[in-house]
Amino acid sequence: MEIKKTESDNSVDISLVGEFTIYSVSELKNDFNKLFQKDRTQLTLNLDLSQVTRIDTAAIQLLIALKLEFLRNHFSVNFINHSEAVIEAIELYGLMGFFGDPIRLNKSQKETFLFAYGRKKGFY
């Protein structure tokens, strides 16, 4: 997996490209740990998932841990531009309500992905 990162004082934009699996989780986890080592009063992470071609349970666990850690530190994390592979995993594990990030679906995806649980107005 390729990791593209742009960082400013209070904002980090990371784009993941390729397979987001157990084999890349430790590398990405180390990058996330470095974000918390800097002395910051405010931090926003935007994680672009549009180019993730495959995602497994280990990667989902990392996303859950990341969300919880950012919330615990009163920082903001946004998962954006979900690929179809990511949407499938979020639906499989019933995590749409937990993550709370807007997921944009095209017409054919709306017929494929039901998201019958955890719906919030404007997220589907």
Q: What is the pLDDT along the chain (124 residues), one digit of tens a residue?
A: 999 999 988 899 999 999 999 999 988 888 888 887 777 778 899 999 999 999 999 999 999 999 999 999 889 999 999 999 999 999 899 898 899 898 888 888 877 776 665 555 555 4
The reported pLDDT for the residue numbered 45 is: 93
The reported pLDDT for the residue numbered 108 is: 81
| Strands (DSSP E) found in the chain | 2-7, 11-20, 44-55, 76-80
Pairing of strands 2-7, 11-20: antiparallel
The reported pLDDT for the residue numbered 120 is: 54
Parent domain of 56? 2-112
Q: Take residue 101 and report the two structure tokens written for it.
A: 């990030």
The reported pLDDT for the residue numbered 33 is: 85
The reported pLDDT for the residue numbered 107 is: 82
The reported pLDDT for the residue numbered 99 is: 92
Does residue 33 lie in a domain region?
Answer: yes
The reported pLDDT for the residue numbered 124 is: 46
Residue type at position 112:
T
Does residue 118 lie in a domain region?
Answer: no
The number of distinct structural domains making up the chain is 1
The reported pLDDT for the residue numbered 115 is: 66
The reported pLDDT for the residue numbered 13 is: 96
Measured CA to CA, the distance from residue 59 to residue 86 in angstroms comes to 10
Give me the CATH number covering residue 19.
3.30.750.24
Does residue 81 lie in a domain region?
Answer: yes
